[in-house]
Amino acid sequence: MNAISILTCENLTIGYRNQKTVIKEVSKDLNLNLIRGELVCLIGPNGSGKSTLIRTLAGIQPPLHGDVWLRDKKIDDLSSEERAKSFSVVLTTPVQVGYLTAFDIVALGRFPYTNWAGRLTEPDKNIVISALASVGAHDLAQRFIHELSDGERQKVMIARALAQEPELMVLDEPTAYLDLPHKIETMRILKRVAQKNKKSILLSTHDLNLAIRCADQLWIMDRNGTMISGTPEDLVLSGIFGSAFEIDGVSFDAVRGEFTIPVEKRGTFSLIAPESVERIWTSYALERIGYVPADGTVSDIIVTIHKDGQKPVWNLSHPGGEQTCESIRSLVESISVTCFLGDDSH
Amino acid sequence: MNLEGSETGNSIRRFAIAIPLIIGILGILFLIDLMLGSVNIPPDALLTILTGGAAKETWTTIFWDWRLPKAITAVFVGGALALSGLLMQTFFRNPLADPFILGISSGASLGVALVMMSAGFCGVGIIFASIGLIGDISISVASILGAFAVLLLILLISSKIQSNITILILGIMVSYISGAIVTILLQFSDEASMHSFTFWTMGSFSGVTWSQLPILVTLLLAGFIMSFFLVKSLNALLLGEQYAESMGMNYNRTRIVIITTTALMAGVVTAFCGPIGFLGIAVPHLCRALFVTADHRILVPGCIIIGGILALCTDIISHVPGTGIVLPLNAITALFGAPVVIWVIVRGTRFGRGITT
């Protein structure tokens, strides 16, 4: 597969120019490259300049220095119509409009192609319909946009951006407002659009776990506006990913690929059980109440999981004795009663 | 894909079916407006007059000198007001915007007052204001300029302030200020111009003479045509300025055209018929509800026709048929328009959000 660069920028400096004299540099010396069919997630803490970069790449805001190239043309040299045919956007602000069906909204994506009255030709209609189908929203076509849920509306907005037939789609936090299953669905749709429709997709997001799993490339902006890009796995392995986001007490677990919630440490545990779902979730539960896996052979508590037919049974042994529990809830309660109280009495 | 029968053509097809119907209603109301008034002209006499036959002389005079120009004015002015309301609502993305509320009519009033009052101050003004065509044109120009000035002011403010509610309040304040200036001007003017101005502020379709009518119709038709060329951009603007620009719309150019068109229509209407409220705000909402769409390809022609229909209705009502009483037009438009505004506000969070803030 030959990689075609859709968007490149060299030594780009982004920021604001409030008056003619006041210049606030957000980030400088950015060298970025977006390849056709790739999904790129732009991540970074709040206030790192993600939106500024998105706006600059989309041509909404001029760069302070350097140029953005779309294939072999400077973005400034493109007419607004050429630009609209090259890339489309999905913005964070929800669209609030009544009496327009999802079809009408998606059809607006044909704006750069239609005549002065915005009349849709047959090919235009087919493009709109297939855009709706690509995001799995064909059944929403005749629904009014103000009657849709946030997740459905996001699908329609993605379909609109797709109907604009761009080479590059830029999405500003498309997964904000959505619950986890809808976040995942949105990412799945975008990934499919990137692969099947051969579009480059750049999106900013705060959902780091999703970004690691979905992105072909991660662009990480840290608090100082420094940009690091790379394959998610490489960034995790090199520790760059973790260090960009870690704040006091919150650390990145490179094995699980997620950030751990800090808890006060109570003691150590040993878990004796075969590899199973029960084992994983039992260890999660123990970690949640402050126990960490024991390094050596000595541990404060030992939990053994037995399979009694279909149902698992937890056997807890601690210095004070042994107990059998039928659920994780009762296991956690037993540990709290016996071990925590014991701690307090010291 | 079994979507073949259910694409966007739906609302347009529905509108195509509705068009003959609403034009028919417009025609019938036009005839009723010609017949009813302080003196009612019976249908057969109307037919005789129209075919050039001999009817009662007073009827013929009333018909040609009063009823016909008045009815034509009503149709065009109603359409223009509705259209400028629609443009403002979409442009400011605010369901409560219209030329009257945003102070554009007040700006036009100020322009007119300045011309009318200057007639009281100096001789040149008298010549301007009183001599037929030149007077009409100078009043129109002053009115359009006044409307344009207020719109530019609001635009300037709206580029700094995002909140639409703030812009509305500022518009209301601007209309208070121009109202205040007009009141002060009135204090210094002679009784005749004061009276004619006060009468003018009540709004009326009857003041337009045959010599003025071509000016009115030409300018408003120009506004209608410009609006038709705006439909695509207006539709894009429904998604907001940033989306519209991302789709290749030239925002600055569109903005200038929208403002010019609105100032032209609102200014001309105000110059000839006085500041008429409520039609501008109410008709676009009625059209959205009636045609169940926010598509401007339907709303622009829809607003022209429905605006004409409502203007004819208010004119018929204000001339309390069979009596010599003439109620101020603004009282009638408010009586019917205010409930629509209330409806918009009350239903604002659910279905009425044609365009929300």
Does any CB of chain B come closer than 8 Å to the CB of residue A124? Answer: no
What's the structural domain count of chain B?
1
Nearest to A107 among B3, B8, B229 (CB): B8
Query: To the nearest whole angstrom, how far is the Cα of A140 from the nearest Cα of chain B?
Result: 11
pLDDT-based confidence at residue B120 (cuts at 50, 70, 90):
low
Does any CB of chain B come closer than 8 Å to the CB of residue A148? Answer: no
DSSP at A120: P
Q: Of B278, B140, B270, B120, which is closest to residue B195 (Cα–Cα)?
A: B120
SS3 assignment, position B197: helix
> Cα–Cα distance between B177 and B206 in angstroms, integer?
28
Put simply, the answer to whether B356 touches A117 (Cβ < 8 Å) is: no
Distance of CA B198 to the CA centre of its chain: 19
Give the start-to-end residue ranges of the domains of chain A.
5-253, 267-345
User: pLDDT tens, A192-217?
Assistant: 999 998 999 999 998 888 899 899 99
DSSP at A339: I
**Average pLDDT for chain B:** 83
**Do B95 and B353 meet the contact criterion of CB atoms below 8 Å apart?**
yes
Domain for residue B355, yes or no? no
Q: Of B198, B261, B226, B234, which is closest to residue B355 (Cα–Cα)?
A: B234
CATH assignment of the domain containing B148: 1.10.3470.10
Write out the residue range of the structural domain in which residue B83 sits.
9-346
In this model, does residue B39 exceed pLDDT 50?
yes
**Do B164 and B93 meet the contact criterion of CB atoms below 8 Å apart?**
yes
Put simply, the answer to whether A95 touches B243 (Cβ < 8 Å) is: yes
Does any CB of chain B come closer than 8 Å to the CB of residue A93? Answer: yes
Sign of CA dihedral A224, A228, A233, A236: negative
Does any CB of chain A come closer than 8 Å to the CB of residue B245? Answer: yes
Enter the pTM of the model.
Answer: 0.85
> Cα–Cα distance between A264 and A250 in angstroms, integer?
12
Q: Which structure tokens are listed for B194? A: 């004061």
Q: Of B344, B306, B270, which is closest to residue B104 (Cα–Cα)?
A: B270
Does any CB of chain B come closer than 8 Å to the CB of residue A125? Answer: yes
Q: Residue B304 carries which side chain, given as an amino acid letter?
A: I
Put simply, the answer to whether B246 touches A58 (Cβ < 8 Å) is: yes
Put simply, the answer to whether B354 touches A120 (Cβ < 8 Å) is: no
Domains A5-253 and A267-345 share a fold: yes
Q: Which CATH class is domain A267-345?
A: alpha beta
Pick the CATH number of A5-253 from 3.40.50.970, 3.40.50.300, 2.30.110.10, 3.40.50.1000: 3.40.50.300
* HEC sequence for A46-100: CCCCHHHHHHHHCCCCCCCEEEEEECCEEHHHCCHHHHHHHEEEECCCCCCECCC
**Do A157 and A104 meet the contact criterion of CB atoms below 8 Å apart?**
no
Alpha-carbon distances, residue A1 vs A36, A72, B235 (angstroms): 11, 20, 40
User: pLDDT tens, B53-87?
Assistant: 777 888 888 888 889 999 999 999 999 999 999 99
Which of A60-69, B119-128, B176-185, B230-239 is the least confident region? B119-128
User: pLDDT tens, A95-153?
Assistant: 878 788 999 999 999 999 998 888 899 999 999 999 999 999 989 999 988 888 988 99
pLDDT-based confidence at residue A59 (cuts at 50, 70, 90):
confident
Nearest to B288 among A84, A99, A109 (CB): A99
Q: Of A130, A57, A61, A54, which is closest to residue A91 (Cα–Cα)?
A: A54
Show residues of chain B in contact with A125, CB under 8 Å. 7-8
Q: What stretch of H or E contains A220?
A: strand A217-221
Q: Residue B294 carries which side chain, given as an amino acid letter?
A: A
Task: Mutate one of A83, A88, A97 to test the B interface: name it (highest B CB count within 10 A).
Answer: A97
pLDDT in the model for residue A202: 94
ipTM surpasses 0.90: no
B89 to chain A: closest CA residue: A97
More confident residue, B131 or A135: A135
Q: Cβ of A123: how many Cβ atoms within 10 Å? A: 10
pLDDT-based confidence at residue B326 (cuts at 50, 70, 90):
confident
Contacts of A229 (CB under 8 A, 6+ apart): A32, A217, A218, A219, A220
- Chains A & B: contacts with CB separation below 8 Å: 110
A55 to chain B: closest CA residue: B242
Contacts of B345 (CB under 8 A, 6+ apart): B96, B352
Domain for residue B354, yes or no? no
Put simply, the answer to whether B231 touches A118 (Cβ < 8 Å) is: yes
